[in-house]
Amino acid sequence: MSFADPSAEDLYENAPCGYLSTAPDGRIVRVNETFLRWTGFNRENLVNVRRFQDLLSPGGRIYHETHYAPLLRMQGSVREIAMDIVTADRQRLPVLVNSVLVTDEAGEPQLVRTTVLDVRERRAYERELRLARDRERAARRALERRHEQTSAISHTLQQSLLADEPPRDERFNVAALYHPAVSQLEVGGDWHDAFALPNGRVGVVVGDVVGRGLMAATAMGQLRSAVRALAVTGVGPLEVVRYLDTFVEQVPTARFATLVYAEVEPDSGAVTLSVAGHLPPVVVSAGGEPQLFMGARSTPLGIEVDAMPRMEDTLHLPPGGQLVLYTDGLVERRGESIDVGLDRLLAAVAREATPEALALALDDGRQGDDDVCVLVFSRRVAR
């Protein structure tokens, strides 16, 4: 991009907001002085060297993969997305991001134009926004109290689907927990499941259907059954998730659902898994520090993005190791960065990785507005 008018160039470079232009894969091709000044980077360290998503915090990169990039590709633009940029001196800069996708005549992506707003000075606005959200939630809860009969049906359906006992074996232990949101009468679409497979492996899954109430609970039940039906064929996690993409085309209420599906070989500890738009599992090696497993990531179910194809990865769970799957209600808090919740989860897992202990440690006395679902697969030490 070039400007014939020097004043236009100056307006671009010293605008009160950051401007970036990136290639469809996120590679930065142009950036203005305002963005460089805020972040402390030199132009030569960014242009044609770094991708926009590389500048984000870990939670921001997850959000970029699972929400920002798919929405931009589907809608052509995203508005007012809150993210944290990691500056050159490793500080976090809270920003609001607006992006527009530029395509050619054939509809193929050519460029992404992004505006970045520094929100460090907007705390008063954020407080007002939180108060407005609190008032809106209070009004919504008052309305939801009129739907107790439907809520009771939803609860009964969900509890019946979550009532199956996990497989029991001297080589491993599976423990799971589901806590409905205390501030909502209608259940959500969170679920967990664990089951033995004909090939000797153990399938474990945690998922989250968008929405609440009877429709979400019904869609959750259909997805849960579909996972089991596909898993017993022996196709493995990658193909299970691919088949689920086709399945949700027939069940629109299940579209955009997220899940982690893993198959564990109890004797060797090999874990094969695929993550569809879900928060990353936590892996604990015996006596080691808990780590977020960032592999095998792709988009929520029913969303196809060429740059983020379905993936499968394998990790090793040693004797005494644990695999922790969970839904966002365990870590997300209103007005708080997802990175804070993930750090809190890792600290809690390091102390005691049982579903009950994690739910208690991360509850912090709040009135939860989302369901909490946790599953912990523990490989036992041979005696």
Reported as a single tens digit per residue, the pLDDT across 21-67 is 999 999 999 999 999 999 999 999 999 999 999 999 999 999 998 88
CA 161 to CA 222: how far, in whole Å? 10
Give yes or no for residue 253 having a pLDDT over 80: yes
CA 158 to CA 211: how far, in whole Å? 14
Residue whose entry in the numeric block shows the structure tokens 């000797």: 200
Give yes or no for residue 162 having a pLDDT over 50: yes
- pLDDT for res 166: 85
CA 336 to CA 83: how far, in whole Å? 11
- pLDDT for res 223: 94
pLDDT-based confidence at 345, cuts 50/70/90?
Answer: very high
Contact 272, 316 (CB under 8 A): no
Query: Which residues is 225 bridged to in the sheet?
Result: none
What are the residues whose beta carbons fall under 8 Å from the beta carbon of 44, sequence distance 6 or more?
A: none
More confident residue, 67 or 148: 67
Query: Which element (helix H / strand E) includes 195?
Result: strand 188-196
Angle between helices 148-161 and 213-231 (to 10 degrees): 10
Q: Virtual CA dihedral for 289, 295, 300, 303, nearest 10 degrees? A: 170
Contact 214, 153 (CB under 8 A): yes
Q: What are the two backbone dihedrals, phi and then psi, of residue 317, each rounded to the nearest 5 degrees?
A: -110, 105
- pLDDT for res 89: 95
Q: Are strands 188-196 and 172-179 parallel, antiparallel or unpaired?
A: unpaired
149-379: CATH number: 3.60.40.10
CA angle 118, 123, 126 (to 5 degrees): 100
Residue percentage of the chain with pLDDT more than 90: 60
Amino acid at 15: A
3-class DSSP assignment, residue 315: strand
- What is the rounded average pLDDT of the residues 271-290? 93
CA 255 to CA 278: how far, in whole Å? 13
- List the structure tokens of 228: 């089991």
CATH class of the 6-121 domain in this structure: alpha beta
Query: Which element (helix H / strand E) includes 221?
Result: helix 213-231
Q: Are strands 77-86 and 109-118 parallel, antiparallel or unpaired?
A: unpaired
Contact 70, 300 (CB under 8 A): yes
Contact 290, 349 (CB under 8 A): yes
- What is the rounded average pLDDT of the residues 153-158? 56
- pLDDT for res 147: 57
CA 69 to CA 66: how far, in whole Å? 7
Give yes or no for residue 365 having a pLDDT over 80: no
CA 322 to CA 204: how far, in whole Å? 13
Q: Tens digits of per-residue pLDDT, 175-203?
A: 999 887 654 555 678 999 999 999 999 99
In the chain, domain spans: 6-121, 149-379
